[in-house]
Amino acid sequence: MPKLPFAVRVPFSAVVRNDSLFHYLSLQFPLRRRDIHLLAVSFGFKNDERKFVKNLLERKRNYWAYRCNQKMFCGDFIIVDMSSPDIRRRKCWAIELKQNSPLKVGAGIGVQFKNLDLAIEEIANQSDTLLLENKYRKISGDRKLVTHFLE
């Protein structure tokens, strides 16, 4: 069984249609036919997650979204504001969407972020998006509340 990452960058083109993410990921991870289901289980959207990331990336073109591996306990998304050319000044948010839940910012959000530091480390080590020193904020709540907070 192949090892999948903690998080994978999801460009706007990968969320335009319902099947766009799966097509994008299958190009990024050339798996054997029998292992393709791992992509859907690990990175597939549930409930209103696709709508959230599509609307956010449509409105905020300077944001980069990373879809978190749902089997790795590192949240649903990691969002990075790429508007600053200085990597040290980039803002970052870890998102856990919870339908019909109030907005929560900061600590005490739960086990969903148990491996978040590993996901941030992976992104920092594999790209020029973040540094390990970048601070991030944990956010959970309903899609509409989280979207409003990030705008």
Token pair, residue 39, equals 């992509």
Tens-place pLDDT, residues 35-83: 777 887 898 888 899 999 999 999 999 999 999 999 999 999 999 999 9
> Residue 127 to residues 91, 96, 131: CA-CA distances in angstroms?
15, 23, 9
User: What's the burial of 25, exposed, middle or buried (CB within 10 Å: 0-12/13-18/19+)?
Assistant: buried
Cβ-based neighbour number of residue 28 at 10 Å: 14
Indicate the pTM of the whole model. 0.91
User: What's the burial of 146, exposed, middle or buried (CB within 10 Å: 0-12/13-18/19+)?
Assistant: buried
Going by pLDDT thresholds of 50, 70 and 90, the confidence category of residue 107 is: low
- Give the angle 48-20-57 at the CA atoms, nearest 5°: 60
Tens-place pLDDT, residues 2-38: 688 999 999 998 888 877 777 788 788 777 777 777 8
